[in-house]
Structure 1
Amino acid sequence: MLTHLSSRCRLLCLSLLAATLAGCAGSNGGARPQGAAAANAATSADSLAQTSWELVRWAQPGGVLRDIPHGDNGEPVRLTFLAQGKQYRVNGFAGCNRYMGSYKLEGGKLFINAPATTRMACVPAERAKLEADYLRGLSAIDTFTLDSGGAPRHLTFNLRGGDVLEFERRQDPPTP
């Protein structure tokens, strides 16, 4: 009796292991990755969930680099992706103000809805312009890439106007 039960237990464990491995194999979410990191682009909204990023480089069309100022207290321009159930949210700091919104990945494209912001005064004028352009850019992502599928460290947004925003991963937010 004990041998028969042990055989059933082994069979059940092997079946569960096979089902788990089959579930992990090849679900690519239908993304059409672009650019140099195409093979490693994110394939689901969950690929970005619970990650935090700092804007480290902004190249305008023609390759001209744009200065990226920090906030008054030295806080960098940040973007954080959060997920709770099927709710996908973004928040961050845009140079003067904090922002929040939602995101989704559909048809291989990342969509960030026009974020709402706090309304702090933004001085100097260059920082106010960068903040406005950055927030507009979040709603104009043409393609995006991640440097690796497992634990990406570099995120790039290619905007419809030709600008390229590059982010480096920072300390991730806690999982809810």
Structure 2
Amino acid sequence: MKISMFLCALGAFLVGCSLTGTVNREQLKYTQWQLTHIGQDVIVDSSVSLRFIEAMQVNGFSGCNRFFGLGKIEEGQLFVRDMGMTRKLCDEPVNKVEQMLLNMLEIGVPAKIEKGTLIFSGQPRLTFKSIISVAG
């Protein structure tokens, strides 16, 4: 009986996520993502990554610097508050990608998971592939 209630609840949860098209904290928890596209441009061998761990803690590599903060999903948008980071200086193209990503995370960006990819629907759209699941 408990298993069937769990399966019904899980089904309702999954349908709800697919209908709204937004991501929730449970979908992100213990996942890691690597940037694959900026707009329509494919990023080859990108080192830009995000990782979501316990209590929506977020850390990652922005191409030049490591960053960390506390993630929050609010009205379909992902925010990262109390962000900290290393302070290396890199070349202009890398700095541009870094600033774009970090600005999106600070001001909030609509986020969804679609066909195994994490999509930030900002300007430009950023697409990430799943690279590992972090053990909980």
Spell out, residue by residue over 1:48-99, the C-alpha distance to the aligned partner (whole angstroms, 9 max, x if none): 111111111112xxx6x486785xxxxx11011112xxx2111010111110
Deviations 1:130-161 (A, max 9, x none): 2222211222444222124xxx2x111011xx
Q: Specify the structure having the higher radius of gyration (Cα).
A: 1
2:57 to 75, 89, 114: 89
Distance, in Å, in 2 between the alignment partners of 1:55 and 1:146 is: 13
Specify the code of the residue in structure 1 equivalent to 2:35.
L
Query: Residue 168 of structure 1 is aligned with which of 106, 109, 129?
Result: 129
Give TM-score scaled by structure 1 length.
Answer: 0.63
Total equivalences in the alignment = 135
1:48 corresponding residue in structure 2: 28
- SS at structure 1 position matched to 2:13: coil
Equivalent of residue 58 in structure 1, options 38, 41, 45: 38
Partner of 1:112: 80
Tell me: CA distance 1:17–1:168, structure 2 relative to 1, closer, same or farther (3 Å): closer
- The 5-angstrom pairing of residues 139-158 of structure 1 reads 139-148=106-115, 152=116, 154-158=117-121
**Per the alignment, do residues 126 and 95 of structure 1 end up closer, same or farther by CA in structure 2, a change over 3 Å counting?**
same
Q: Is the 8 A contact 2:32 2:52 kept in 1?
A: yes
RMSD: 2.8
Higher strand share: 2
In structure 2, list runs of 5 or more residues that go unmatched: none
Contact 2:35 2:43 in 1 (8 A): no
CA contact (8 A) 1:95 1:127 kept: yes
Amino acid at match of 2:129: E
Where 1:27 maps in the other structure, the secondary structure is helix
TM-superposed CA distance for 1:16, in Å, is 3.0
TM-score by length of structure 2 reads 0.79
Q: Deviations over 1:4-49 (max 9, x none)?
A: xxxxxxxxxxx33344334434136x7673xxxx3xx43x201111
- Percent identity, aligned pairs only, is 25
- The residue aligned with 2:91 is 124
Cross-structure match for 2:50 = 79
> Larger helix proportion, structure 1 or 2?
2
Using the alignment, how far apart are the partners of 1:18 and 1:133 within structure 2? 45
Once residues 67 and 130 of structure 2 are traced to their aligned partners in structure 1, the CA distance between those partners, rounded to angstroms, is 18
